[in-house]
Amino acid sequence: MSSTTPRPARKARPTRAAAPPLPVMEKLDATHRQVMVTLDQLQTLVDRLEDDGINDETRAAAAAICRFFDDSARAHHAAEETHVFPGLLAGTDVELIQHVRRLQQDHGWLEEDWLELQPQLSALSEGYSWYDPAFLRAAVPVFAQLYRDHIALEETVVYPASRRG
């Protein structure tokens, strides 16, 4: 075909139904995987700031981390509070109820930690230099460890119990 010969029209693809949404537990599991990746990215960001300071890459990383914890992580906690915890709290397993209460408390602590970290990261994402490297160096490991412990309890005890119904 020469460059002046018109191309034949593409055949339209048949329409098909949208894929069904992931069931709630699979969405929650997927978010846990993303939390772990994002926590690693957060620590890498803190390490890079000490070496490189603010640049386009650290600004973009800070913005992506903020978006994830502001949106996906908060929605994840709300989904757990709505879909996972109520049924378990209505049960009779005292130990399981204590675990769920701990996870609810963790949600509050994670939110408090995030409310302290978020302004620092948001400032970084905008290129401001008033962030506190010492604060980030101290706060990020605490936030990350609480999240990791929280996820471990959910995945080893609470989610399996929720799946059993």
**Could you tell me if 66 and 122 are in contact, meaning their C-beta atoms sit under 8 angstroms apart?**
yes
**pTM of the entire predicted model:** 0.85
pLDDT in tens, 19-69: 655 478 899 999 999 999 999 999 999 999 988 899 999 999 999 999 999
- What was the pLDDT predicted at 116? 98
- What was the pLDDT predicted at 17? 74
Neighbours of 52 (CB within 10 A): 10
CATH no. for 24-164: 1.20.120.520
User: Residue 124 has which token pair?
Assistant: 């970084």
Confidence band for 96, pLDDT divided at 50, 70 and 90: very high
**Residue 88 is which amino acid?**
L
Q: How many Cα atoms within 13 Å fall on the side-chain side of residue 10?
A: 3
- The per-residue pLDDT of the chain, averaged, comes to 92
81, 149, 153 from 45: Cα distances, Å: 30, 21, 27
Rounded Cα distance between 106 and 112, Å, is 10
